Structure 1
């Protein structure tokens, strides 16, 4: 493959830190490279040097003649007075850009729901980010350098971006460099991984899953690698092999080696023990949403708006669920109903008497009273110890040990909260909430500002947390990793997703405009009726009717099993909590019913795919 650009003996340092020392590397045609590493180790600086945005202190970057490099950085440099359409396509005539299928695809995928004549100064931060990304992708580049491209994008937009980058060039042309903490995106798009650490750049073959495997092998062979980091990596590898079906069905690394490495790694969570403890702490009632709906009243600028309607959700003790939906679908409204900060306008919300809800919000209001206090003082004021896990696996940690697990060095314990980085403040916010010992935890976009190692540390901490967990996140990997079920808000209704995020994306693609699917104001002008016509199903006639009938039957059986499981959980809450043998038998019965439901849900997915084929 032809060489596109390279770096020789790069050296970069700040007054207090050497970032790179003698780094040499190259980028060839066909490379799709993900750049990972701890925050502050130089990922963005490396990308900026390779893209020609920053000069190294010594060494040089060479670029083959004629190679065009386009870069998306984290800074917002858009003109507030520009319009959406002009920013993306410039002065090109409408018939010119609308006749280009690639540009129409970018328009539809990223800014199709925006008014083409809207001034950028009136847009939100997330909308401006999509415009900046569309502007870059509408250009013709040999190399794309993307710094945190998934920031402010929802699950749907991230899936679109991954698909776009995979089909943008042929397999042996073009090159991609991407810095992101989104591990699903890294695994979906990248074929090579660079880990930035300790002043060097270490290359690995394959995407994120392959990188984790190779890093574990490297760590096992090196006695100087910190044992803690090794265990986290091995645990994450176990998730990659045992977790999401989409990964295990198309493995990206050597299965034999992976199985050998994880044969002594226990399951990520002891579900029986955690749920039993959650029941004892919460009782049988957590939060029940009963035909709940929310309508916001009319204002001078907007008519009355119904956000949620007819929501039925009985949240169980120890339940771990993720909530999906486009921006504005009603996720925050739903969380408000559960947390008790918002009352329904129709229906009702019933809460258990022992419920103690804590919410990790996107804002960090919990830290405001402590901005001038050292981290050590803030944490020690709450509790002297914190227990994770259950039974023989229970571990009691001091606040200092908790901080260490979350990546705080001893020197940082004396740092005032106001001087912490965004990622450090995020981790401290989560620790303060956990130390307050809630039994229902709501996480609203918890992955912001965290690097991949810190995300793994947060996930391990949540693995041993006994309580009900609800997560809203655009980080698909994190959601699949820490939750057992996913739900979506679609057209004001809450819908269970047996097929997880993949099912949500299919439903969104199939949704008509009236149910909230984004309508492209821009691309629709240039698209033909042939392009917009839906694909015909693979099954026809009697065969299709039989599949639809079986699908309905399986769906009814899933609902009956779910009701049985709910009844068993209620009975579990009423059982003598000191009868450990009886509790174990009841939990095993629940586990058997859940396994049967899992099989039916897999059958439901296969039937659905056959109807959509």
Structure 2
């Protein structure tokens, strides 16, 4: 493989912190490199140095003669006065660029639906990002360096970009580096992963999945090595502590050896541990949108976001929302949170429902930019219940990677990832039982994303996630729905893949009658085989897909009456219900023990309260068991 560019002995320090220390690496033709690491560890800095956009304190970057490097920065560098046409193709005539298949594909993939004569300054942040990316890809570079290219792209845009990068060059030609938090994208396009951490860069073969496995093995080996070191430390210290007479005659080299062992401890990495917060109990009724209609002002007239849409959410339900830009995904969450009122129809809200939205814009912290992190955390209460324990605000912040010194940093000085982390923690301490996440992966690194997904895996409430991150949607939600911009809401039994097939014209759009998303049990769905509504989940969280024409290609009902998609969904829901039943069983046993203790103390008030809670747990268990059996009939 031909060498394209490289770095030798790169070091750079910001203030008192060394971000990169004596880094040497190279990029060859055919390299497809993903860069991962925690926020602030130097991913973007490394890329800027390699692109010669910044200067290192020491070391050098060398490019092979004639190599062309294209760089997409996170910051906006477009001329706001220029039109989209001028920004993307310059003075090139339409017939010149339109005759090039690659340029036509880029224009349709990234700029479809935009008026090319519109000034760049009038575009939204996401649209400007697409224009900057299109401008870069239109040029013929040998090396592309892309810093968070998937930000502001929807699921369809991310899939298009992945396909473009995979087919842009032959296998042994060109190269690219990409910094992104989108794990699916990394797996799809990268053959090499660089992890930036602790001022070093480690290289791993393969995409994100291969890197994760290799890192787990590395951490296991490091743990074994640390255990051996600890044993040696104990031996040396025990030898040094033997009697006062012996200490006076100990050889100096033994003392030096013990000190070396004690001091040879690497700095602990700033791990993020998102703990499970207390959650308010959720009743049977959660949130229902009934025959909702909503029209908003838009350029060129009024835009119908929702037209006679019914959307029902049950307790414990986990729904992912995908859709085209401007179709109303964020507005859907605001309707559910009662921040936006519909023009027609109504929103029904359960009596025990407590909602919380993780917004894209980090609105909750904007008014608190002058406050310090610790002050924001403790402005409403000082003590928090986490995992059955009580933690102070400072202790809770430490579990999320905010060191003691960092807790007194003004919110306005935090990085994007730190603000996002604080925003999520602030929401969870309000003990919501319906959590709505609007593009939660923005500004978060892969380690924090993994920690957040682990938290959401055990989330006992109802979850609605709007995201273009396929990895996240498939990990934390049980089913997905789509907004295609025509005012209807459609279920996606085939998940994100079905959505992409619909958008690519490879699968027909489900009928317009399929605009209702109902929370009903599997038995109810089976009893109505001719319905055009889309069953979602019962109050216990079991979902099934509608029969008939709304099923995806290849997933028509089998002779048993259930499609393969329905069976897969039922299996997933059965597994989740089993976990819920296990937790309820443990709580049931705890209540029995507490009631026995209350009986001995003759505490009648306590007994009555415990009995009421036990009755509720028994009812929930009975309901879950019934729904589990209903789902089991589909699987058989």
Normalising TM by the smaller chain, what interval? 0.7 to 0.9
SS in 1 for 2:67: coil
TM-score scaled by length of structure 1: 0.75
| Residues 61 and 225 of structure 1: CA distance in aligned 2, closer, same or farther (over 3 Å) | farther
Distance (Å, rounded) in 1 between the aligned partners of 2:633 and 2:29: 48
Does 2:464 align with 1:435?
A: no
Does 2:393 align with 1:399?
A: yes
- 1:373 positional shift: 3.3
| Residues 460 and 410 of structure 1: CA distance in aligned 2, closer, same or farther (over 3 Å) | farther
Distance (Å, rounded) in 1 between the aligned partners of 2:471 and 2:326: 22
Distance (Å, rounded) in 1 between the aligned partners of 2:428 and 2:555: 46
Q: Which residue of 1 aligns with 2:284?
A: 284
Distance (Å, rounded) in 2 between the aligned partners of 1:135 and 1:186: 22
- 1:339 positional shift: 0.9
- 1:371 positional shift: 3.4
SS in 1 for 2:341: coil
| Residues 8 and 175 of structure 1: CA distance in aligned 2, closer, same or farther (over 3 Å) | same
Q: Which residue of 2 aligns with 1:345?
A: 343
2:490 pairs, out of 486, 492, 495, with 495
Bigger relative contact order (CA 8 A; separation at least 6): 1
Distance (Å, rounded) in 1 between the aligned partners of 2:375 and 2:481: 39
Gaps of 5+ in 1: 228-272, 516-545, 601-613
The alignment covers a number of residue pairs equal to 508
Q: Which residue of 2 aligns with 1:90?
A: 90
- 1:412 positional shift: 1.0
| Residues 106 and 302 of structure 1: CA distance in aligned 2, closer, same or farther (over 3 Å) | closer
Distance (Å, rounded) in 2 between the aligned partners of 1:353 and 1:226: 53
- 1:336 positional shift: 2.2
1:510 pairs, out of 484, 490, 505, with 505
For residues 281-360 of structure 1, the aligned pairs below 5 Å read 281-296=281-296, 302-360=300-358
8 Å CA contact 1:33–1:176 kept in 2: the answer is: yes
Q: Which residue of 2 aligns with 1:382?
A: 380
8 Å CA contact 2:556–2:563 kept in 1: the answer is: no
For residues 78-117 of structure 1, the aligned pairs below 5 Å read 78-117=78-117
Gaps of 5+ in 2: 228-275, 511-552, 585-610
SS in 1 for 2:330: helix
Distance (Å, rounded) in 2 between the aligned partners of 1:95 and 1:592: 63
| Residues 336 and 595 of structure 1: CA distance in aligned 2, closer, same or farther (over 3 Å) | farther
Distance (Å, rounded) in 1 between the aligned partners of 2:136 and 2:114: 17
8 Å CA contact 2:35–2:179 kept in 1: the answer is: yes
Does 2:205 align with 1:196?
A: no
Distance (Å, rounded) in 2 between the aligned partners of 1:372 and 1:135: 38
Aligned-pair RMSD on alpha carbons?
A: 3.4
Q: Which residue of 1 aligns with 2:144?
A: 144
Distance (Å, rounded) in 1 between the aligned partners of 2:417 and 2:633: 41
8 Å CA contact 2:83–2:120 kept in 1: the answer is: yes
Q: Which residue of 1 aligns with 2:452?
A: 458
> Which structure has greater helix proportion?
1
Does 2:508 align with 1:472?
A: no
8 Å CA contact 1:219–1:225 kept in 2: the answer is: no
- 1:282 positional shift: 1.9
- 1:223 positional shift: 2.9
8 Å CA contact 1:405–1:457 kept in 2: the answer is: no
8 Å CA contact 1:383–1:435 kept in 2: the answer is: no
Q: Whose Rg is larger? A: 2
Distance (Å, rounded) in 2 between the aligned partners of 1:19 and 1:317: 46
8 Å CA contact 1:406–1:458 kept in 2: the answer is: no
8 Å CA contact 2:555–2:564 kept in 1: the answer is: no
- 1:388 positional shift: 5.6
